[in-house]
Amino acid sequence: MKVTIIGLGLIGGSIAIDLRKKGVATQLIGVDQNEDHVSEALRLGIVDEVKGIKEAVENTDLIILSIPVNAMIGMIGDLLSRVNPGVTIIDMGSTKSAICNAIRTHKNRSQFVAAHPIAGTENSGPGAALLGLFNNKTMIVCEKECSSDNALSVADKVFKALSVKTIFMKPLDHDRHVAYVSHLSHVSSFLLGKTVMDIEKDEKNIFDLAGSGFASTVRLAKSSPDMWAPIFEQNAEYLSQALQEYIMHLQRFHYYLMKKDSKEIHHIMTEANEIRRVLSGIELKNEKENKVELLIEE
C-alpha cells in the first residue's frame, strides 16, 4: 500500500516507522513544510521520498495527517475534493468536534476516518519518532458511522500495525474527556514551568533543588507550543470547564494551607490517592481484555 504521511513529526514519523516495519506500507511519501524535518526524515529513512502535497496525494492509497489541528480543518476538505475514490484519509488530531463539523456535509466524507492516538512524548520532530510508540495504547475513532466500510477496513489495518486498542466515541464526548485527562495536564505543566522560570530569575540555585518529582511533573512543558496552542483553542470550552474545577481545588488547598489545617490537607491528598486505584483498574481491565482477545484468536 502506498502511504502518504503529511506531518513528519513525532506522531507521523512513528506511524511511518511502524507501517514499514509491519509491511503495511510498500512506499512511504512524506510531506512537511519544515525543511529541517524533511532532511531529517529522509536521512533517518522514515520516508522514501518527500514531495509537495499536490504531487504526494496523487495515486496514493492512504493519507495520514499529523499536523496542528488548526491546519487540518481546511486541508481535510481540500484533500477529500482532490483524491480519487477509494483513497482513505485518516487524521491524528487531538481534537475532533471542529474537524468533524467542518467536513460533515462533504460529498466524500465517507473516505475520511477521524482518529486520535492517546500516545506521545514531550519531544517533537522526526528525530523523536519511535518504533512501537503506540503499542498497547488507545486509538479513539469518532463518527465511525460516517466512514465507509472500505475506509474503516484500511484504518483497521493501520491500527493493527500500530498495535493499538480501538475505541469509538462521539466527537463532543472525546473533546470533553481529553480536556480533563490530557489537555488540562499539559496546561498545568506549562504553567508550573512558567512559575518556576519566573522564580529562577531571582533565585539562581532553584534548579539545584529540582529532583525527579519536579522533572516528571513539568515534563509536558517541553511539548511543542506550535502543536498545543491550536489544541487549546479548538477545545477552549471544555478545557475552560476543566480549568475552573482545577482552580477550585487549588483554592481549596490554599485555604486550608493558610489555616494550617493539616488534617484537611491530609484528607485532600488521601482523596487524590484514589487515582492510583483508578489507573490500576484501567490497566487491569486492559490486561483482561488482551487475554480474552488471545483466547478468541486461539
Mean pLDDT over 29-56 rounds to 95
pLDDT in tens, 234-279: 999 999 999 999 999 999 999 999 999 999 999 999 999 888 877 7
pLDDT in the model for residue 277: 78
The dihedral of CA 220, 224, 225, 226: what is its sign? negative
The yes-or-no verdict on residue 52 having pLDDT over 70 is: yes
Q: Cα dist. 184→119, 124, 238, 251, 280 in Å? A: 16, 20, 10, 17, 21
**Whether the predicted model's global pTM rises above the 0.95 cut:** no
CATH 3.30.540.10 fits 2-169, yes or no: no
Residues of the chain with CATH 1.10.3660.10: 174-260
pLDDT in tens, 141-193: 999 999 999 999 999 999 999 999 999 999 999 999 999 989 999 999 999 88
The yes-or-no verdict on residue 203 having pLDDT over 70 is: no
Percent of the chain with pLDDT over 90: 76
Element (H, E) at 27: strand 27-31
Nearest to 137 by CA among 174, 168, 158, 164: 164
CATH number for the region 174-260 comes to: 1.10.3660.10
pLDDT in tens, 101-133: 999 999 999 999 999 999 888 888 999 999 999
The yes-or-no verdict on residue 21 having pLDDT over 90 is: yes
Per-residue confidence at 292, pLDDT binned at 50, 70, 90? very low
What is residue 182's DSSP assignment? I
Mean pLDDT over 281-296 rounds to 51
**Cβ contacts of 204 within 8 Å, gap of 6 or more:** none
Residues of the chain with CATH 3.40.50.720: 2-169
Per-residue confidence at 285, pLDDT binned at 50, 70, 90? low
Helix-, strand-, coil-residue percentages of the chain, each rounded to 5: 60, 10, 25
d(CA 102, CA 104): 6
